[in-house]
Amino acid sequence: MRFGVSLAPDASVPLVRIAQDADRYGLDLLGVRDEPYRRGTADALALMATALAATSRIRVLPAVACLPLRPPAVLAKTVATLDLLSGGRVELGLGAGRAPDGVDAYGGARLGAAAARRALEEAVQVIRLHWSGQNGLRFGGEHYRFAAAQPGPPPAHQIGVWLGVTGPRGLDLAGRVADGWIAPSSLVPPKRLADGQRHLDQAAAAVGRDPGELRRVYVLEGAIEGGDSRGFLHGPPRQWIYELTELAIGHRVDSFLYGGDPEHLPVFALEIVPAVREQVARERGAVFAT
């Protein structure tokens, strides 16, 4: 299992310090939300570069990159460069864009759902092609085209491409072409998570892929609080420990990104995470023992 933080790039908060804290606390992942159309937000890729330079071990990714505002060939070069300069500490979360009005306001294409999925599938192909190291790249898609393009540098390691999708057709796409799925808890609560996992598995198996090799990332959009529970992911640490353990054991989530108040990051990283690791290991051990 991997644990990390989902960082809203609010330029008014100490973003670099939060990244350094996450690294110091031993978290595995730092996801940076890519929302350039929101007022007062720092650029996600610039923040990723700064965070990588200011940390030593944590892996960093856009969670997720806004494809309509990030041309995939250029995005591939940027992400590969960050991976090279950081010694292989970058992954790629990619999405079709959740805010069409914001995308439109920033000059991006406003696509329907089906066209956005086709663009996302093409983008995965384009990005991997640019990471291949081949010369004279050619691609002729509906949304992206280039002829005899020269690739950027290949990355330092095989970067995972994790798609931020929620609907059945998006999950079909992730199962067919991606290395993993990023799901926000606000859009994919536990009652929808099991169906999503099945859809992902079936799509992967249908094209001969091993569903067990796909990473399943869950963004925890809740609040660590005192007192009694106010609902899923809104309650004291003991509730979070129970719910994350259930997500790992019952729903096969293997990566968690804490998306709550950064002031509670120490509680998440130093109290909740170790307890969840211990409880999951204990329950899995009990299953194997039987």
Predicted pLDDT at 134? 86
Which of 124-138, 180-194, 204-218, 233-247 has the weakest average pLDDT? 124-138
Which of 20-29, 142-151, 190-199, 247-256 has the weakest average pLDDT? 142-151
Predicted pLDDT at 164? 98
Task: Render pLDDT for 264-278 as a digit per residue (tens, 0 to 9).
Answer: 999 999 999 999 999
Q: What is the mean pLDDT of the chain?
A: 95
Residue 253 or residue 135, greater confidence: 253
Which CATH number characterizes residue 59's domain? 3.20.20.30
Predicted pLDDT at 250? 95
Predicted pLDDT at 111? 92
Long-range contacts of 51-57 (CB under 8 A, 24+ apart): 51/15, 51/16, 51/19, 52/82, 52/85, 52/86, 52/89, 52/90, 54/16, 54/19, 54/20, 55/19, 55/20, 55/22, 55/23, 55/30, 56/23, 57/23, 57/89
Residues with Cβ < 8 Å from 115, sequence gap 6 or more?
Answer: 142, 143
Task: Render pLDDT for 212-232 as a digit per residue (tens, 0 to 9).
Answer: 999 999 999 999 998 889 999
Residue 194 or residue 148, greater confidence: 194
| Residue percentage of the chain with pLDDT more than 90 | 89
- Segments forming the whole domain that contains residue 36: 2-288
pLDDT at 290 over 70: no
Task: Render pLDDT for 4-43 as a digit per residue (tens, 0 to 9).
Answer: 999 999 999 999 999 999 999 999 999 999 999 999 999 9
pLDDT at 131 over 90: yes
| Residue percentage of the chain with pLDDT more than 70 | 99
Predicted pLDDT at 289? 55
Q: Is the CB of residue 183 less than 8 Å from the CB of residue 218? A: yes
| Count of domains forming the chain | 1
pLDDT band, very low/low/confident/very high, at 280 (cuts 50, 70, 90)? very high
Cα separations in angstroms, 55 against 16, 127, 130, 135, 190: 9, 26, 27, 34, 33
How many other CB atoms are there within 10 angstroms of residue 79's CB atom?
27
Residues with Cβ < 8 Å from 79, sequence gap 6 or more?
Answer: 90, 92, 127, 155, 159
DSSP state of 268: I
Task: Render pLDDT for 66-77 as a digit per residue (tens, 0 to 9).
Answer: 999 999 999 999
Predicted pLDDT at 287? 63
Q: What's this model's pTM, rounded to 2 decimal places?
A: 0.95
